[in-house]
Amino acid sequence: MPQSYSLQRIPKPATGVLGPSSFFPTTWPNTENPVSMGGIWTQGADVGVDWQNTKSVGGTPGIALATAVSAGFNDCISTVQGQGFSTTKHYSQLTVNKVAGYTPPDSQEIELLGLFTITANSAKGYEMDFAFGVNVQPVRWNGALGDFTTTVFTLVSGTPFQASDGDVIKTVFDSTSGSPVFIIFLGGVEQVRYTDTTAGKITSGFPGMGFFVRTGAGVDLTKYCNKGFDCGNA
């Protein structure tokens, strides 16, 4: 079973390069809009243009969240690109922040990204979507804004689940066989596997995170987000 790491911040050099570490945990001690951590993060609006950025509110722990609600499919996304991690086998992990008594008026999602690359006017890779009150949904982003699919995945094994406050959710993204496999863990225990064997499959990229929120009365971006993130080689 892949190793699970405790979520604690590792100091980053001023150059924005992670260095030799094979993993990268943080509990969001600093407030940043957008999240940067010394230039580590690649952002959906700043680089991708057509999407939105992610931000953090510092604390012990702090939280990472969307910068704004989405009018279309312009999720708030960010990746850890060019930091020396394997582009074909890595993981993304988060700790769920879910405030008791809160129910969003419409869709509100926290996302783990993998085999994912953000460039100008292109966001390409895989999203594991943990929507409020709904089971996990895998999504493949094909590049252009709004070009995504949820119908190409084969359920290999496991039981879908819903996320609770404090849950640690981890997805391993592994394309080393030539067909990407996605292994989702809850509390260190494997829950479900998906695979993409279609012609449009994506076989390389980077780990990251995302958020999607629809507007409505009482919506609060801080009440369903993440209070810890970790990524690295799987």
pTM of the model: 0.91
Say which DSSP state 32 is in. B
Mean pLDDT of the chain: 90
Task: Write out pLDDT tens, residues 49-83.
Answer: 999 999 999 999 999 999 999 999 999 999 999 88
Q: What share of the chain is helix, strand, coil (3-state, %, to 5)?
A: 0, 45, 55
Confidence class for position 162, pLDDT limits 50, 70, 90: confident
Beta-bridge partners for 100: none
**pLDDT tens, residue by residue, 90-116:** 999 999 999 999 999 999 999 999 999
Residue 200: strand pairing partners: none
Task: Name the residue among 86, 52, 60 with its Cα closest to residue 210.
Answer: 52
Q: What is the pLDDT of residue 7?
A: 30
Confidence of residue 23 (pLDDT cuts 50, 70, 90): low
Higher-confidence position of 159 and 107: 107
Percent of the chain with pLDDT over 90: 84
Residue 188: Cβ within 10 Å count: 11
Amino acid present at 141: W
User: Going from the N-terminus, what domains does the chain have, and what CATH number goes with each?
Assistant: 24-233 (2.60.120.560)
**Strand arrangement, sheet containing 206-213:** 42-43, 76-79, 206-213, 108-119, 122-131, 137-143, 148-149
Cβ 141 vs Cβ 116: under 8 Å: yes
Give Cα 16 distance to the centre of its chain.
20
Number of Cβ within 10 Å of residue 71's Cβ equals: 9
So what's the pLDDT on residue 204?
A: 98
Q: Which two tokens stand for residue 202?
A: 């994506």
Q: What is the 3-state secondary structure (H, E, C) of 82-114?
A: CCCCCCCEEEEEEEEEECCCCCCCCCEEEEEEE
- Residue 186 CA to residue 124 CA, distance in Å, equals 25
Strand pairing report for 189-196 and 153-158: antiparallel
Q: Is the pLDDT of residue 4 over 70?
A: no
Q: State how far the alpha carbon of 23 is from the alpha carbons of 34, 110, 215, 218, 229, in Å.
A: 22, 21, 35, 37, 11
